[in-house]
Amino acid sequence: MTPVHFSFTSAFILGFMGLAFNRTHLLSALLCLEGMMLSLYIMLALWALKLDSMTFSAVPILLLAFSACEASAGLALLVATSRTHGTDHLRALNLLRC
């Protein structure tokens, strides 16, 4: 395993572990998701460069577009949650009180 591959794999795993274990604020969960998507984007871009093929060159751009849509939807949910509940704590979100 190359050092570059190891660093981006560990960045993805750290983002996933932060998302799984640090569940206090919605903003921290969104930041962990963005870190995971950024490491995936860089890994796919390096993979497309390594393969030197034109068919795989659109995959990182497609992932980046989906990541931007995910970020905008997450921020919209963050704003809506903070307006209705007054906080972005995940413990304040209860599906039974909706």
What angle do helix axes 26-51 and 3-21 make, rounded to 10 degrees?
160
| Report field, pTM of the whole predicted structure over 0.75 | yes
The predicted-structure confidence for 13-58, as pLDDT tens digits, reads as follows 999 999 999 888 888 999 999 999 999 999 998 888 888 878 888 8
Segment (H or E) for 52 = none
| Of the listed ranges 11-25, 43-57, 63-77, 84-98, the one predicted with least confidence | 84-98
Asked if 30 contacts 71 with a C-beta cutoff of 8 angstroms, the reply is yes
**CATH of the domain spanning 1-92, picked from 1.10.287.3510, 3.50.50.60, 3.40.50.1700, 3.10.520.10:** 1.10.287.3510
